[in-house]
Structures are given as structure tokens and as C-alpha cells.
Amino acid sequence: MFFEGSEKKIELVMCNNAVSLRSLGTDFWANIVAQCEAEILSSISNEKCDAYLLSESSLFVWDHHFLMLTCGTTTLVNSLNAFLDHFESQFEQIQSIIFQRKNEYQSHLQKTSFEQDINQLQKRLSGVAFQLGNLDSHHNYIYHLDQAYTPHQADKTFELLMYHIDGEAADYLRTEQQCAAKIRTLLNLEKLLPDFVINDYVFEPFGYSMNAIAGDKYATMHITPQEQSSYVSFETNLDINQHQVNIFTHLVQLLNPCSFDIISFNAEVHIESQHSLMNQVEQPLSCGYTMRFKEYMRQQKRSLASQITL
Amino acid sequence: MFFEGSEKKIELVMCNNAVSLRSLGTDFWANIVAQCEAEILSSISNEKCDAYLLSESSLFVWDHHFLMLTCGTTTLVNSLNAFLDHFESQFEQIQSIIFQRKNEYQSHLQKTSFEQDINQLQKRLSGVAFQLGNLDSHHNYIYHLDQAYTPHQADKTFELLMYHIDGEAADYLRTEQQCAAKIRTLLNLEKLLPDFVINDYVFEPFGYSMNAIAGDKYATMHITPQEQSSYVSFETNLDINQHQVNIFTHLVQLLNPCSFDIISFNAEVHIESQHSLMNQVEQPLSCGYTMRFKEYMRQQKRSLASQITL
């Protein structure tokens, strides 16, 4: 029953006079997705963005940048390599590449390690890499091009990664025959993301993925509800500090995780919760972003061990 | 520079009319040790116990039971299998087997996973397995024979596992050309373990292992000081609650770890420290022990990320 919900992530920016990435077409992107052993389930589009829901997470394509998140045992680095193969003769048009791997429950079940991924990338790129957070606790890995880039002032990213969700909402998310409409209501998505077009999917026997877009803004949420290894991620470029509802505070209260991480790029995040802030890392990156990592935990009640099936 | 200090552990008890395990001789035990890709460096003995210092941790042999701890990427399960091969026709003489794997920094670098180890053992044994602690945080795995056994009333075990040590003592432990005498003084070992015969070893360029015995009591300590992944373990069957000094409190104050775990068998452990108790698990085992796991952490100051060498 174990499934690694924790994601790998690529964010890549082309210069403004490059070919539009959207014009490359669905077949091109379906091939990029296939390289990491995922597939496209459905998509939504608006004037700025094509948002693909994948069998393992999400792909967002704008004219001059794309964002791809994949979970499970996908090999996202292969998708990045396939993209770079296509642009081999136009590397000068690539302004920024960021490759992340989030805190994994069972890293030994992955096909490659972060070190292997970035050693492969470093053969064709010139990047630097960091670990944010302690190795024995939650940590996040990032590799990025060691190349100056000036993000737009509104270019901020907010990631909330929740582990071991608990309570009524978590219980519903673990039931079979759950439905998307009920999950949207439970999460209060229409209120949290007014004006967004939402595309979502319920997996068998459970598990939920959601993409939402409004102009050039996106939000994406992925739920792996499995007891013992549940994981819920929410990510957006919407400035949640300026938003009418504090989305992160709402989700933490609703899903009551045992621990959660907040990762942000060019933004500080404030959250109200009973959890203790155990660690915080702040790292200015040579690619123009300041990355922040915060690890929160709550003290747990005394419990019994989990028996392992033999 | 990464080294996995975290140990795997076997504790095996024979019935009182079985052959003395000590009488099997050093060649027998050297072969058992070789099976997991470690070797014997030196040994001390008294009337009750032979204590071997290994290239990766320790082996203690009494007449009717043995304890083996190994770290790094050793495959301790192979040593257990070699022992079981030797006693294949006398399995009824084995009263208890416990196999543990402690919280690993980089489980993906290990040659086998706990699941693989125990699936192998379960082909010849009838055991049960538990995970104590959350999968995204510190946790400890145990597999044991599902067979009634009544430990002696004085049979208690105390394990202290410290991660990310910090401060003056930690700094000295990271210097090259450190010496055993100075480490003993630094740790206050003669005061903590009066009446014990001590055998210790300093590794190149650093790293320290210590075995100590007094009658049928043992203590063992292993230090992997590497910055970013330091680990110090201390384990004993001395009743530390009855001891004149609280050894665990002393070591935590001296080595100032960012986090630590306390594992005990048939004993409660009390410790004074500034750390928060984040999780506690208590599990009665069908092999006659109650196992307790406690995870402590302290809040860290804001810091920069660690750069990864490419």
C-alpha cells in the first residue's frame, strides 16, 4: 500500500524571444511526460497557460516557462534531459532551470538518488546544489543553473507539504468510492481559489489530484492519503500573503498533519498553527531567488508501534 | 565524507544447557563478523564476557547469548544467517532473537532494506516486525522471534542515539590526530563507568569506538563525527536509573545533539535536557520485552543551506 507522494519538480524559464513552449503542442509534452514514466490524464487551458493533470502529479506550460511535478518512483530527471535534448542547439535561450526533490518517506525505493540525478545534469549544465534542512529530519534538495536571472517582482512560489494527516477530513480521504465534488467541498476549494478553473481527478481506490488556473496563476494539490505514509502537497504562485484567506493556515487546520514543511521562493510565509517551528533555512540562490524552508512538527501522544506485514 | 553511523543490531539468547557461545572460539566469531563485511580489531575478556571491537562497531559474547552491532553499509543479516546455519539442527536451543535497524541518514545507500532483511529471515524463522516512530521522522525497526521468553528481571537495555552533535566536544571529535586518552577524558568515561575495563579505538582521520565490560555488564559507544551527518550511540545493560550518574543526561549535555532517540527494553528512561519530546512509542513484544522509543528534538536557529559538492 505504500506510495511515495513526495514530488520531484522542474521549473524552467526560456527567454522572451524563444519559441512559445505552448506551441510545441500536446504530443511534444506527452513525450516529455512519458520519459519519466507518467502520462497525461486530462488538461485545461486559458489564454496564458496549459495545465496537464498527470498520472503522477502535474505539468503547467506557459509561453516561456514550464513547471513539472511528479511523485511516486518517476524519474523526472529523464523528462528534463529529453527537454534539453530538444533545445540542444538553443541552450542560450534557457534563462533558468531549477530541479528540486522534496523530503521522501522511503528514498531507498526510488530509482535514482538526488546525487545521481544532478551528477547526470551537471554533465551538460553548469549548476549548483543545496540541501535545506537536516539529513536526519525533513530536508529539500535543489539544483539550479549557476547563472544570473532576474525574476519578475510578482514571481513568488509557495509550497506546503503535509505529512501524516489526521482527523475527519483525512478519514474521508481514505474511504473508497470518494468523489471529486465532495473533496472540493471538504477542502473548500471554491472559496480558497475563487476565479480559478479547476480540473481534478480521484484515483482508485483513493488519492486526489487537482490543477487550477486563473490567468497566469496556478495552484496544484496532490493527496496521498495512505495511513502510515500520508502526504498532501499544495503549491501556487498566487501571493498567499495578499489573498483573502490564508490558504496554508486553512489546509493545516483541516488536515491536521503531524508535520509539515513550507518552502517558498522570493516570499516569506506566515501561518497560524499549534505546530512548533523546528528548523528554518534561508538561502539566496545565484539564479535570482531566495529559497526558504521551514519545518514544523507537533508533539505526538504516546502510541503503540505499527506492525509490519510479513 | 558521508558515513552511516547508525547501527543494525542482533541480540540472540540460547538456552542454558546449550554449548557455551564463548567456547566456539575467536575463529568462529571472526567468521560471523566477516559475513557482514566487518572485521575484529581487538578484544577484551572477563569471567563472563568476550567483547570484540569491530571495524564497524561491536560484538559481545556471553556463554548463552550474544549481541552484535554494526554500522556503515554492513549486511548484518548475513552474520545472523551464518550463525543460524551453524545451529541449523539445534534451533530449539534458541530462545530469543531480536534484529533491529536504527534510524538511517541515507537508507538508499544501504545494500539491503529492513524489509528485504526480514523477508529473508522469515524464510527460516517465525517472527513479527514493528516500526516504532513515524516514517518521515526518526524511527526504529525491530524483528523478533514470535516465541514466549521470560527475560531475567535485571535484563534491561538502554540505547541513546544522538544526531548532529555540536559544541566544543563535537569540535574536538572532528579534529584529526585526536587521541583515545583525550576522548576518554572529554567524555568522562572513567567517571561514568567506574569498575569497567575499557577497550577503545580511534579511526583515521577521526571516529571513535569503545567497548567496556564489568562482570556481565557491558557498555559500548560509537562516534561518527562527520559534519552534516554526525551520529553518536551509547548502549548498555547497566541499569542507568540506578547508577550514580545519569549517563544519558551527561552525554546529551556534553555532545549537544540537534536530535536524539532513546530506546529501551524493559525499562523507562528519564533524562534532563532542553530538547522537546516529540514522539513516544511503547510496544509490548511477544518475546517478553516491552520496547520503548522516544524521539527528542530541539528547535534550531535560522541557518543557511548546506552546499552539495558536484
| CA pair distance A265, A138, nearest whole angstrom | 18
CB A241 within 8 A of CB A90: no
CB B171 within 8 A of CB B230: no
Helical axes A247-255 vs A180-187, angle rounded to 10°? 110
Tell me if B137 and A259 make a contact (CB, 8 A cut-off). yes
Mutant choice from A108, A136, A264 vs B, greatest count of B C-beta within 10 A: A136
* End-to-end C-alpha distance for chain B, whole angstroms: 13
Cis, peptide link before residue B205, omega less than 30° from 0 = yes
Tell me if A282 and B304 make a contact (CB, 8 A cut-off). yes
| CA pair distance B57, B60, nearest whole angstrom | 11
Tell me if B122 and A310 make a contact (CB, 8 A cut-off). yes
| CA pair distance B76, B32, nearest whole angstrom | 9
Mutant choice from B119, B123, B132, B136 vs A, greatest count of A C-beta within 10 A: B136
On average, the pLDDT of chain B sits at: 97
Residue B297: closest CA among B99, B70, B103, B73:
B103
Q: How many residues does chain A have?
A: 310
Please give the pLDDT value at position A221. 98
Residue B216: closest CA among B196, B235, B233:
B196
pLDDT digits (tens, 9 = 90+) for B47-76: 999 999 999 999 999 999 999 999 999 999
Nearest-CA distance A245 → chain B (Å):
27
| CA pair distance A287, A99, nearest whole angstrom | 12
- List chain A pLDDT tens, one digit each, 310 residues: 899 999 999 999 999 999 999 999 999 999 999 999 999 999 999 999 999 999 999 999 999 999 999 999 999 999 999 999 999 999 999 999 999 999 999 999 999 999 999 999 999 999 999 999 999 999 999 999 999 999 999 999 999 999 999 999 999 999 998 999 999 999 999 999 999 999 999 999 999 999 999 999 999 999 999 999 999 999 999 999 999 899 999 999 999 999 999 999 999 998 999 999 999 999 999 999 999 999 999 999 999 999 999 9
Please give the pLDDT value at position A136. 95
Partners of B258 on chain A (C-beta within 8 Å) are 134, 136
Burial of B70 (0-12, 13-18, 19+ CB in 10 A): buried
CB-closest option in A108, A138, A307 to B130: A307
Residue A65: closest CA among A195, A146, A130, A157:
A157
Tell me if A307 and B118 make a contact (CB, 8 A cut-off). no
Residue A129: closest CA among A143, A116, A119:
A143
Compute φ and ψ for B100, nearest 5 degrees. Answer: -120, 150
**Which residues 131-170 in chain A show a CB within 8 A of chain B?**
131-132, 134-138, 141-142, 163-164
CB B249 within 8 A of CB B271: yes
Please give the pLDDT value at position A247. 97
Compute φ and ψ for A243, nearest 5 degrees. Answer: -80, 155
b/e per residue A98-129 (b: at least 16 CB within 10 A): bbbbbbbbbbbbbebbbbebbeebeeebebbb
Beta bridge partners of A129: A143, B308
Cβ partners under 8 Å of residue B27, min gap 6: none
CA atoms in the 13 A half-sphere facing the CB of B267: 23
CB A86 within 8 A of CB A35: no
| CA pair distance B214, B9, nearest whole angstrom | 21
CB-closest option in A131, A302, A307 to B280: A302
DSSP A303: B
Q: Is B290 on the interface with A (CB under 8 A)?
A: no
pTM comes to 0.95
Q: In what order do the strands lie in the sheet with B49-54?
A: A306-308, B127-132, B140-145, B94-101, B8-14, B65-70, B57-62, B49-54, B40-45
Cell numbers at B181, concatenated: 586518552
Please give the pLDDT value at position A280. 98
Positions in chain B short of pLDDT 70: none
CB A234 within 8 A of CB A249: no
Residue A160: closest CA among A72, A251, A73, A57:
A251
- Mapping DSSP to helix (H, G, I), strand (E, B) and coil, where does residue B89 land? helix
Please give the pLDDT value at position A162. 98
| ipTM tops the 0.85 cut | yes
b/e per residue B241-263 (b: at least 16 CB within 10 A): eeeeebbbbbbbebbbbbbbbbb
Q: Which amino acid is present at A99?
A: F
Q: Which amino acid is present at B185?
A: T
Nearest-CA distance A222 → chain B (Å):
18
Please give the pLDDT value at position B1. 82
Q: Is A101 on the interface with B (CB under 8 A)?
A: no
CB A263 within 8 A of CB A161: yes
Please give the pLDDT value at position B123. 97
CB B211 within 8 A of CB B51: yes
Domain ranges of chain A: 8-297
b/e per residue A283-298 (b: at least 16 CB within 10 A): bebebbbebbbbbbbb
Superfamily in which the A8-297 domain is placed by CATH: S-adenosylmethionine decarboxylase (3.60.90.10)
- Please give the residue of chain B at the shortest CA–CA distance from A259: B136
**Which residues 231-260 in chain B show a CB within 8 A of chain A?**
258-259
Nearest-CA distance A104 → chain B (Å):
7
Q: Which amino acid is present at B268?
A: E
